[in-house]
Structure 1
Amino acid sequence: MPYNIAMVSDFFFPQPGGVESHIYQLSTKLIDRGHKVIIITHAYAGRTGVRYLTNGLKVYHVPFLVIYRETTFPTVFSFFPIFRNIVLREQIEIVHGHASLSNLCHEAILHARTMGLRTVFTDHSLFGFADAASILTNKLLKFALSDVDHVICVSHTCKENTVLRASLDPLMVSVIPNAVVAENFRPLTQHASDGESSALVSPQPRNLSRNDTITIVVISRLFYNKGTDLLIAAIPRILATQPNVRFLIAGSGPKAIDLEQMIERNVLQDRVELLGPVRHEEVRDVMVKGQIYFHPSLTEAFGTVIVEAASCGLYVVCTRVGGIPEVLPEHMTVFAKPEEDDLVRATGQAIAALRANKVRTERFHEQVCMMYSWTDVAKRTERVYGGISGALSEEEFYGYRGVDDGKSWNATRGRAGVQSFALIDRLKRYYGCGIWAGKLFCLCVVVDYLLFVFLEIFAPRTNIDIARNWPKKPALNAQASDAGGSGIGRKRSGRHRDRPEG
């Protein structure tokens, strides 16, 4: 059955990134499958109000203050009036929040539960347990997920991390990985005739000799957690031992100045090229210029960019951290510890394997096409929606039947479709979040409920106009859906269609 779904996150286009791409691709595939999907995010420079993107995807840009890395200032309650207006206007049934650091996501889940809506949360990242920032983030995550119907993680490592951080029942957490639009990340071809599209020609084996130059590509935000310090330390050592190797680096961030200083200090201007930030639809054009993709991340829940690199026919050198080992098979990757020495060793091993022609990178694209599909991600997410809405029974959703003793499943365990909307049950769940935090969370829930009652009285639902739905097109089969409806990442349809709402 079709659902009306609201995707909520601080992170969305025009900002590039894995979370942003995930929300867009999942939304378009759900629309292809007959559901209604809207996006709620904050306003970006030059992008405010209501916009329509490709495939009739409507985006609400809420004018909230951004404080750090596109995250809005937490207010807890001020978002409720406009959120309620949007939800009622669009007749939303399920609110799906994304990203642990998104303030809009957590507030939307709180308000949605107060309004009696089903909620889902997708976690895209990994966090620690010892530093002050992680402790605070984990406590806020526990607050948000104490009253959520189901949680989705992008890898099994991410699931373990989220279950521990938020003290969740593992049964209420599903693993649904990211995907890529493989058609947008085709490798270069060598024998395309004049006037013939390279997309129609199968890639040929690339035989490298000892004197051929190997280009190592890096496309990443230049932040500490992305391993930029390791990159800066490893580049001079790799280039010192590999004479016919160069680096091509795209991305921006606070570590960019350190990278530039390293190049100046070691006089590597002719062997290291910095491209700066690139748009998502330009990523493929950068990747196909190289033979190896270098990914020195210190923490990663999934790592969509390495799937894109493999789809372009690049051999991947990456750190064995987080969920990265789950992403690609071993014949596509060379793993290293998140240490300078091991990264230098792994890169040398990858270069040697390519020069000896031991790696058939021309087959990577077809293999990635078979492994990852956004249509499959949409189907699995749709099944989660069916579980929390009651369309699937407990046995269908979990794969087995629980003991029917009246105690196996209750409001505090979070069985899909059983989370009670009663205020007293919600308070019980929040009260268990800590000696002091539990009481504070209960107070927030009570105030949120009183605000909801106030809005129902002084801003009645009857005064809110129902929005007209975008005309639905016939449902696409899986093959056609994979080939189409993926405007972001394609030069032809990657531009947003902005139009005022009627």
Structure 2
Amino acid sequence: MAAGGPARVFHSVCMVSDFFYPNMGGVESHVYQLSQCLIERGHKVLVVTHAYGHRKGVRYLTNGLKVYYLPLKVMYNQSTATTLFHSLPLLRDIFVRERVTVVHAHSSFSAMAHDALFHAKTMGLRTVFTDHSLFGFADVSSVLTNKLLTVSLCDTNHIICVSYTSKENTVLRAALDPRIVSVIPNAVDPTDFTPDPSKRVDGTITIVVVSRLVYRKGIDLLSGIIPELCQKYPELHFLVGGEGPKRIILEEVRERYQLHDRVRLLGALEHQDVRNVLVQGHIFLNTSLTEAFCMAIVEAASCGLQVVSTKVGGIPEVLPENLIILCEPSVKSLCDGLEKAIAQLRSGTLPSPETVHNKVKTFYTWRNVAERTEKVYDRVSNEVVLPMDERLDRLMSHCGPVTGYIFALFAVLNFLFLAFLRWMTPDSIIDVAIDATGPKGAWTKQCFGGKKGGVKEELPRS
């Protein structure tokens, strides 16, 4: 503590999302990296997700990060099925056992995240939600998701978005007060994404694509770009990493135009292998149709690649104009952008990979993200948790005459179920888990004065 300054508050944070390792993606990486940096800053952090295959129970990752893999049924696309009640006994036990003070949920697509927010409010805990996605307002799935988000966020203490475009989208979708929504971008660890021009093949120009092969990522656009540019530039090669239902389209294009030696489909990549793929390329192509931030283009730029991307969502905010060529989401516009990058590459006017890396590594760091997220936790820890009657009023007034009353009823039933669980197993008899995170156990010292008497030791599980 600085002389005359306020004492730092250490939080016990529970990150909740259906999306976490061993699954791969932007949300998974965000939760892991943010957790590690918060642990370095002395906070207690744990992650709650669903079981992945045989990975069940409690696991420990780097720096003692504890992960609960709960035995909940997966419904669709790695998201669990929900009834709003079946997860309460498990989550309540974790929140009490770990002495959680802040529940931080991630992703609009995660049913477990919404469940955790609902239960945490019933238990009187502070809640934070990070939205990683952009949604429309017209199709049925977006309308239903937006209504769920309105219910879930109307009494959440604070919301974080990863770009200003994402903030505007979330505020409109969930009818939120902009004052409770902050913008904290994603980041990359620059030491994991360093350039290595020696991996490039002489005499060729390699375009790298690393993405889930799904409609939202614009793979249909990619299938139109590949044959057009390969026919025009004989030295051009495509390196595609990722897996998904749209892979069959790329395989058909490769077969139809006999491009087996020029289009390599690498399949799903482990996160530690992404850098080894990126450094083989000269240009990185992103064809997304919607994107809140897009960590992939930051990773590619950090490896020294020239980025060509669709101009959608929050992407124009991510990199400066001299490091990215922005295009409309069409085959013609993206081909024009790639041809511009190819011309710059041939003429030698592009900056060196090392120069680009040195610029990008100053833009986004996980430590900065953790510091800004910590300020959000400090803010919500000073806020009053809504009592049950005010919470019901908020639901009924904010969420419409039908949805609001339905979820107000759910909130009452949730409260009664919690009261029953507390009667069956009082909080006082639930063992307190030992604090395994933080460089000096700062959170434990704050709460218990460094004493671990009465705390049941928990052995790591493989």
Instruction: Give the TM-score category using the shorter length.
Output: over 0.9
- 1:12-68 alpha-carbon deviations (Å, 9 max, x no partner): 000010000000000000000000000000000121000000111000011011111
Correspondence for 2:295: 304
SS at the partner of 2:319? coil
| 1:217-232 → structure 2 map (5 Å cutoff) | 217-232=208-223
Correspondence for 1:60: 68
> 2: CA distance between counterparts of 1:185 and 1:335?
22
Equivalent of 1:238 in 229, 254, 257: 229
Moved more, 369-378 or 464-473: 464-473
Q: Does 1:500 align with 2:433?
A: no
Q: Does 1:269 align with 2:260?
A: yes
Q: TM-score, normalised by structure 1?
A: 0.85
- The aligned amino acid for 1:212 is G
Correspondence for 1:429: 394
| 1:300-339 → structure 2 map (5 Å cutoff) | 300-339=291-330
How far apart are 1:357 and its partner, in Å?
1.2
SS at the partner of 2:179? helix
Q: TM-score, normalised by structure 2?
A: 0.92
RMSD: 1.7
How far apart are 1:102 and its partner, in Å?
0.4
Q: Does 1:453 align with 2:419?
A: yes
Verify the 8 A CA contact 2:41 2:438 in the aligned structure 1: no
> 2: CA distance between counterparts of 1:3 and 1:471?
11
How far apart are 1:463 and its partner, in Å?
2.2
Equivalent of 1:149 in 157, 161, 170: 157
Equivalent of 1:72 in 65, 80, 95: 80
Correspondence for 2:406: 440
Q: Does 1:470 align with 2:436?
A: yes
- The aligned amino acid for 2:67 is V
> 1: CA distance between counterparts of 2:284 and 2:437?
42
Q: Does 1:109 align with 2:117?
A: yes
Q: Does 1:34 align with 2:42?
A: yes
> 1: CA distance between counterparts of 2:423 and 2:436?
30
- 1:54-97 alpha-carbon deviations (Å, 9 max, x no partner): 11100001101111110000121110111010000000000000
- 1:201-240 alpha-carbon deviations (Å, 9 max, x no partner): xxxxx9x9xx931100001000000000000011111111
Verify the 8 A CA contact 1:47 1:61 in the aligned structure 2: yes
Q: Does 1:364 align with 2:356?
A: yes
Q: Judging changes above 3 Å, is the alpha-carbon distance between structure 1 residues 17 and 380 closer, same or farther for their aligned structure 2 residues?
A: same
How far apart are 1:354 and its partner, in Å?
1.1
Aligned residues: 436
> 1: CA distance between counterparts of 2:108 and 2:302?
28
Structure 2 gaps of 5+ residues are 1-8, 443-458
> 2: CA distance between counterparts of 1:282 and 1:472?
28
Q: Judging changes above 3 Å, is the alpha-carbon distance between structure 1 residues 189 and 302 closer, same or farther for their aligned structure 2 residues?
A: same
> 2: CA distance between counterparts of 1:426 and 1:72?
26
- 1:255-279 alpha-carbon deviations (Å, 9 max, x no partner): 0111101110111111111111110
> 1: CA distance between counterparts of 2:424 and 2:460?
31
> 1: CA distance between counterparts of 2:387 and 2:433?
29
- The aligned amino acid for 2:434 is R
Verify the 8 A CA contact 1:114 1:421 in the aligned structure 2: no
- 1:91-139 alpha-carbon deviations (Å, 9 max, x no partner): 0000000000100100100100110100000000001110000000001
Equivalent of 1:387 in 379, 385, 390: 379
Equivalent of 1:258 in 231, 249, 253: 249
How far apart are 1:358 and its partner, in Å?
1.2
> 2: CA distance between counterparts of 1:215 and 1:474?
47
Moved over 4 A (4+): none
Structure 1 gaps of 5+ residues are 191-197, 199-205, 391-416, 477-497
How far apart are 1:473 and its partner, in Å?
2.1
- 1:429-458 alpha-carbon deviations (Å, 9 max, x no partner): 100201211110111111111111111111
Verify the 8 A CA contact 2:39 2:439 in the aligned structure 1: no
> 1: CA distance between counterparts of 2:401 and 2:31?
36
> 2: CA distance between counterparts of 1:51 and 1:86?
14
- The aligned amino acid for 2:370 is A
Verify the 8 A CA contact 2:16 2:116 in the aligned structure 1: yes
How far apart are 1:284 and its partner, in Å?
0.2
- The aligned amino acid for 2:390 is D
- The aligned amino acid for 1:451 is F
> 1: CA distance between counterparts of 2:210 and 2:297?
10
> 2: CA distance between counterparts of 1:328 and 1:60?
36
> 2: CA distance between counterparts of 1:120 and 1:78?
22
- How many percent of aligned residue pairs carry the same amino acid? 51
| 1:181-220 → structure 2 map (5 Å cutoff) | 181-188=189-196, 212-220=203-211
Q: Does 1:247 align with 2:238?
A: yes
> 2: CA distance between counterparts of 1:105 and 1:333?
34
- The aligned amino acid for 1:427 is L
Verify the 8 A CA contact 1:32 1:475 in the aligned structure 2: no
> 1: CA distance between counterparts of 2:289 and 2:322?
22
Verify the 8 A CA contact 1:33 1:475 in the aligned structure 2: no
> 2: CA distance between counterparts of 1:271 and 1:121?
43
How far apart are 1:499 and its partner, in Å?
3.5
> 2: CA distance between counterparts of 1:308 and 1:357?
22
Verify the 8 A CA contact 2:306 2:323 in the aligned structure 1: yes
SS at the partner of 1:371? coil
